[in-house]
Amino acid sequence: MMTRFSLLNIIYTNAMTASVAFYEALGLDRKIAGEVDPWWNEFTLDHAALALHWNEGREFPTTSNPELHLQVAADEFDAVYDAVASIQPSGMQELEGLGRYFVLTDPNGVRVQINEVN
């Protein structure tokens, strides 16, 4: 029997409100809308979830920050890029044979790369 797992990515943050605003500006929807919870805010994705967890003001170990890669259909890529202008994406780049991408940095220093997929 094969066990079915679902992926939950957790980012620890000392800037909860700014972090929630960043991921909402990126177009992610919180699982529970309304006021920002000071301890836990979860965003649902198609086959995974992303959660922001309060770090209680502690310092982050430099090895604990993930790097997120989110994939967007080619026919939506330009609209997503335009929609995130307020959170300062890098210029679009292209990897030959793979497609276009751009990069953002969230309030916690996490690198978020948005990839175009066909």
Q: Which domain holds residue 98?
A: 7-57+66-117
Counted domains in the chain? 1
Longest dimension (CA), the chain: 47
- Does residue 84 fall inside a structural domain? yes
Read off the pLDDT of residues 9-48 as tens digits, 9 standing for 90 and up.
Answer: 999 999 999 999 999 999 999 999 999 999 999 999 988 9
Contacts of 12 (CB under 8 A, 6+ apart): 53, 54, 55, 60, 64, 108
- What pLDDT sits at residue 66? 80
- What pLDDT sits at residue 60? 72
Read off the pLDDT of residues 2-12 as tens digits, 9 standing for 90 and up.
Answer: 777 788 899 99
The whole-chain average pLDDT of the chain stands at: 90
- What pLDDT sits at residue 63? 64
- Does residue 2 fall inside a structural domain? no
Read off the pLDDT of residues 45-72 as tens digits, 9 standing for 90 and up.
Answer: 988 999 999 988 888 766 666 889 999 9
pTM of the complete model: 0.84
- Does residue 77 fall inside a structural domain? yes
- Half-sphere exposure (CA, 13 Å, Cβ side) for 63? 0
DSSP string, 8-43: EEEEEES-HHHHHHHHHHTTPEESS-SSPPSSEEEE
Split at pLDDT 50, 70, 90, the class of 103 is: very high
User: How far is residue 19's CA from residue 21's CA, in Å, rounded to a whole number?
Assistant: 5
- What pLDDT sits at residue 107? 93
Residue in 60, 1, 4, 50 with CA at minimum distance from that of residue 28: 50
- Does residue 1 fall inside a structural domain? no
- Does residue 52 fall inside a structural domain? yes
- Does residue 101 fall inside a structural domain? yes
- 92 pLDDT more than 90: yes
- Does residue 109 fall inside a structural domain? yes
Residue 112 belongs to domain with CATH number: 3.10.180.10
- Does residue 49 fall inside a structural domain? yes
